[in-house]
Structure formats: C-alpha cells, structure tokens
Amino acid sequence: MRLFDLNDPQLRAVKQTQGPVLILAGAGTGKTRTITARIAYLISEGVPPEHILAVTFTNKAADEMRERVAHAVAPEKAKLVTVSTFHALCVRILRQDIEKLGYKGNFTIYDQSDATGLIRQIIHRVAAKDEKLEPSVAQNAISKAKNLGVDAPSSDAETETLAGAVFARYQRELKRLNAVDFDDLLLLAVKVLRDHDDVRAKWRGRYHYLMVDEFQDTNRLQLDLVRHLAAGEPPNVCVVGDDDQSIYGWRGADVSNILEFERHFPRPTVVALEQNYRSTGHILDLANSLIRHNPRRRAKRLWSAEGEGKKPQLVGAPDDREEALYAVQELHRIGHDFAVPWKQFAVLFRTNAQSRLIEEALRERNIPYRIVGGKSFFDRREIKDVLAYLSLLLNTADDVSLLRVIQAPPRGIGEATVERALDFSIEHKCGLLAALQHPDFHGVLAKKTREAIKTFVAFLDRFETRMFEPLAKYADVTKELLNESGYLEDLKRGCKDEAEFDRRSEAIHELLLDLERHQEKSRNNGLREFLDKLSLDREKDEDDKEKDAKDGVTLITLHAAKGLEFDYVYVLGLEEGLLPHERSKNEGTLDEERRLLYVAITRARKQLTLLYCRGRLRYGQVLPRQASSFIRELDTRHYETVNWHQQVNAPVEESAGLSAFARMKAMLGG
C-alpha cells in the first residue's frame, strides 16, 4: 500500500492502530481506500493477517474490500484477513456454537419471504375470526423488537395481544423448525457470545483488530456484537461511518451508535475525513448548507480541491409527467451533445412507483436504462422450489420447505391433508414430516392419500441417501430429483409457452452450475455452505464483463443510491409529503429525511438537477403539491432556479395539450 497517496487525516486514521478509532468519513472522502490502507498497514507492522476482521453490511462491500486488500498486500496474506458481512460472520459463529442455545447445528436460514410465509400461517392459526393483522406489519414489528435484542413479548399483557401472541409463537415455531431468520442470526450470535464465556473467549482470541464499515447503519445488536468481539483493553476497534448518511433508522439502525461512540468505547481517536474527491464545489456547498440544519450531528464540512463546477439546478414542473420529460430531455441532450455514456446518468426517486414515468420517457427515446432493485433471481419461484428441496434434505424438520416441496409438483397430497397434518403436528408437538408418517395420522386418511404420502416419504428418503452418499455430486443428484419427482414436467405444464419454460429451466440450470462449481471448490459440507451463501447473498453475480459492457441510465431509489456516484444526477420529487415523506412528520424522523436528500445530492460528480412538481398524479387524481421545505434550507448561492416557461422550448409534443390542462388544474388546486 502506498501510504503517500493518502491525505493527512487519512494517514492519521491509518496509523492509529491501537485502541478505539472513529473515522468520520464524509461522502466521497476515500473511505474504502482508507480502510484498505489501514489493513495493509497493520500487516506491514507485523500483525498476523488472520487476526484482522473487517465487517461490512453488504456482500458487495465485502467483495470490494476483499479485492482491494488483495491488491494492497501479498495475496497469501490477503487471503488470511477475514472480511465478512455482519450476517455471514454470525452464521460462522452459530454454525459452531448454536447448540448451546438449543438449536441444531444444521439450522436453516429463512429469508424474508420464508419468514413472511411462516408468519402468515401463524396469524391464520392464532387470530380469531374478527381479528386482522397484516403479515408484513407483524413481521416489521417482530424485526424491530429483535433488533433491540428482544426475543419474546416482554410481558404477559403483550402476549395477550394478537401481535404479541404471533411473536411468541413465531419464535417458538422457528426453533421447532430448527430455522432462524435474518434477525435471529444477529440476536442468537449475540446471545451465545454474551452467555457463554468460553465461546466469547474463543472468538475474542481469534481477532485482535476489528474494523466496521458503515457504522452509522448499525443497530443495537450489531453494536453488541462488536462489543463482545472486541478484545483488549482498550479494545482495538476501528469504526468508519458518517452520521449524515444514516438513512436506515426505520430498519432499526441507531445513529446514536456513532453519535455517542465515546460512550461505548471511551477515549477514542476521532478523525474526520472532509476532503471530497467526488463532486465539484457548488454541489458540496449545497449539501453542506442542507445538512447544517440537522441538530444532532458531528460537525464536518465537505470540501473539494477541484474547483466550483457547475451550479446545481432547481426545476419546478407543472406535473410529474413534465418532470419526467424534463429530466429525460435534459439527460438526452447532454448525453447526445457531449457523447456521455448513459451509465454516467442516474435518476433518483423516493418511491419505486416514481420510476414508471421515467421509464416510459426513456423508452420513447430509445435510451437504455437499468432499474436497480426489483425482483431478484432468488425470488423466482423455480429457484425457491429447488432450494426448498435442498434445504429439506439437509434439515427435514424444516416445515416451510416441506410445504413448498409437497405441492411442487402436486402429488396427491392436497390442501386438506396438509392442513390436517399441520394440526396433528401441533397437537403432538412433532414435525410435519413426522406427522405425515405417524400411524395415528394415517388412520383418518383415505387409502389413496396414504399411498401418496408413502410414495412421497420414500422419495425423500431415497434422495436424502443419494445426496449424502460419499462422492455424490449434488448438482447431478438434484437434476435427477427434479426429473423423477416430476417437478420439471409440472413446471413445463404451468408455463404459457415454450419460451417461458426455457427461461425458467435455464435459471435452474444456472443454479445447478453454480452448485457444481461450488462443490468442486469446497471439500465437505459444501451443500450447507452453498445454501448459506445463497440466503445471505441475493445478488446473482452477473458476469462482470457483462455488467461493465452494459450501458444505461440508472433508475434508483434514494436509499439504494447510497455509496454510488454518477456524473449527472437527477433527483425527482422534492415535494412536501414525498421528501420529507408524509409519515416522517408523525414518526419524528425529519432529520433522516434531510439526510436522505443529502445522500442524494452527494451522489453527483459533475452536475445535479433537483426537480419537483406542483401537481402529481396520485391514485388517478392530480393532487396539488408544495415544494419541499428542504428547498428553503438550501443556500441560494449554490444553485440556480430554472424558469420553467423559458426553459421548456422543446419541440411541441403530443403531450403539450395535456400539460397545459394539467398546469391549469394545478394552478386552480394550489
């Protein structure tokens, strides 16, 4: 690592290896480079690389850091550094020590939708006829509680409520299924470290230097985890983050972790990185002028050595259609006139629904685009089905997977039978698979159903044996399983046309290829690892080449844009009620809304356009809108207001009549 590439504060952060260190890394200030340099420096100072642990939130960040470490130090040393996400780290801890908590080591990890399904089931079972509870609402509440370290309703009174009862039941069911959800990974890891001195000692002995990225996004459990892992007195914990970019409070992230770092780790070295290498001056000053209005924050001021640049623009459009047309027309013009590749442009918005008008406008002009987010590869039905088969073979107590598998394909075990088996399993406190096989259960069934169950159970047995035979190839066995179960046939039957079946079976094929590659690399226990990795990393790694080659405008939510940067950025919907969002007023999270806009502004390298409209089509009606109160907080010296009527000199389009109408309507409404 070339330390002379670093600026003074960065260098200070790198060289302070002992005790707690807080690096306040403003947007675009070279955070990752500083962390990487610090790891390299530790190694150059003689710290064994296997004693270094770096924790991130996303797999993407972990991959990136791993790669950069590999470039900074000798490969054989880089390999020994542990770079992991919070969740993956917890899986490692739990795979070794979860038995101390009464789970089995081969537990299944439920993703969001698995968990939702289970909660839906439980509500169905627990709720009285006149009671209603949205599964997602319950799931959110449960998640929030768990993120605070609570693993059961805190009082009898609470258990009396439907939500409380569902919570209690959900935790109990998970344990019975030998399954954990994402929050459990943290919760249980903290628990096992907290309650078992030997476990804590083991993990503390392993890592002597801890680094945590995006510390402003940590929740209470994650802070607890760090505290349990941090060894030494004072502990060598280096956290990196930016309180101004804390935008995940609604998911349990607790800014006070970074704001009150000194309380958790006394007498830290605090270094602020303020020199920004991304944006031009006006953009940074605009961002500074906004974020200044937040009361609780660590003072810092981004600056650039690269000059003022172009002033950001503020555009007020008559309605959302015009807003979209304006943004697209502008980026089209710039892209065209200056031959800027489309991937240097991004359109940012608060809610996913806002992307539609932009999409339409881009399509009209034949401009390629990509939408970040949306349905992932692993949410696809056929992929979930195959993974359910594999999970079930590894953990036959996993009823959620069993329920999925039992009806894909339909095999003569219908809903009624499953319902009865479920009741039986609850009554007799056994798993669903055990219930299906129980002689007492068979008593009440028709002969045909009994036979169907026998066939199914025998089928599972057979493939369990084959899958875990020595030298068995997982991918091959799975292929046979999908054929022999009739799954593929059923999949084909369910497809509208040949093309759809090709798409779906191709997806499965890809998955199995991944599995094959994975098994070749890892020795034993490879299937569990494979499933773990998939549950924790939803990103289907497209070929990097493919990704790079693809050019297109990025359409992305404000949240998802954090950490990214683009030459030209358009931020839509700076309106009261949208940004800040309506709900933030009730929830008292105006600061976080402000940070959200701050994050958006600081994404731009060269040029920034902020847009709002006076009327927005919502639920079929044009509603009058007011410009965001945040606009008043922006320093007028650092942006210019675009006069709509003068600016819009575009060729008259078919939309002209409509927009005049909309404008009139908006005027009348406002």
Which residues of this chain interact with DNA, rule CB under 7 A? Answer: 57-60, 85, 87-88, 112, 120, 134-135, 182, 214, 217, 248, 250-251, 253, 350-353, 373, 407, 409-410, 414-415, 493-494, 536-539, 557, 559-560, 581, 583-584, 587, 589, 593, 619-620
- In whole angstroms, the minimum distance from the beta carbon of 449 to DNA comes to 13
Cα–Cα dist 477/460, whole Å = 12
**DSSP classification of residue 346:** E
Q: What is the maximum alpha-carbon separation in the chain? A: 82
Q: Which CB atom, from 47 or from 617, has the smaller least distance to DNA?
A: 617
Give the shortest CB-599-to-DNA separation in angstroms: 12
Q: What φ, ψ does residue 431 adopt, rounded to 5°?
A: -75, 165
At residue 646, the 3 state secondary structure works out as helix
Closest by alpha carbon to 313, among 282, 335, 340? 282
Quote the least distance from Cβ 357 to DNA, whole Å: 12
* Residue in this structure with the two tokens 């056929």, named with its chain if needed: 382
Is the CB of 137 or the CB of 650 nearer to DNA? 137
Q: Which residues are catalytic?
A: 31-32, 213-214, 245, 603
- 88 vs 165, beta carbon nearer DNA: 88
Nearest to 531 by CA among 398, 620, 626: 398
Residue carrying structure tokens 């289907």: 540
How far is the C-alpha of 620 from the C-alpha of 559, rounded, in Å?
26
Judged by CB, which is closer to DNA: 1, or 406? Answer: 406
The DSSP output letter for 161 is: S
Q: At closest approach, how far in Å is the CB of 245 from DNA?
A: 10
Instruction: Work out how close the CB of 136 gets to DNA at its nearest, in angstroms, rounded to a whole number.
Output: 7
Alpha-carbon gap, residue 525 to 632, rounded angstroms: 59
Q: How far is the CB of 247 from DNA (least distance, A)?
A: 7
Q: What are phi and psi of 460, to 5 degrees?
A: -60, -45
Phi first, then psi, for residue 275 (nearest 5°) are -75, 120
As given in the structure block, the two tokens for residue 163 are 């939500």
Q: Nearest approach, Cβ of 144 to DNA (angstroms)?
A: 11
Burial class of residue 582 (count of CB atoms within 10 Å of its CB; 0-12, 13-18, 19+): exposed
Instruction: Give just the sign of the alpha carbon dihedral 363, 365, 368, 370.
Output: negative
Which residue, 253 or 324, is less far from DNA as judged by CB? 253
Q: Between residues 168 and 371, which has the closer beta carbon with respect to DNA?
A: 371
SS3 (DSSP) at 409: coil
Burial class (CB within 10 angstroms; exposed 0-12, middle 13-18, buried 19+) of 282 = buried
The least distance separating DNA from the CB of residue 519, rounded to whole angstroms, comes to 22
* Residue 17 or 116 having the CB closest to DNA: 116
C-beta closer to DNA: residue 626 or 641: 626
| Percent of residues in the chain assigned helix, strand, coil, to nearest 5 | 55, 15, 30
Report the distance separating Cα 637 and Cα 191, nearest Å: 53
Element (H, E) at 55: strand 52-56
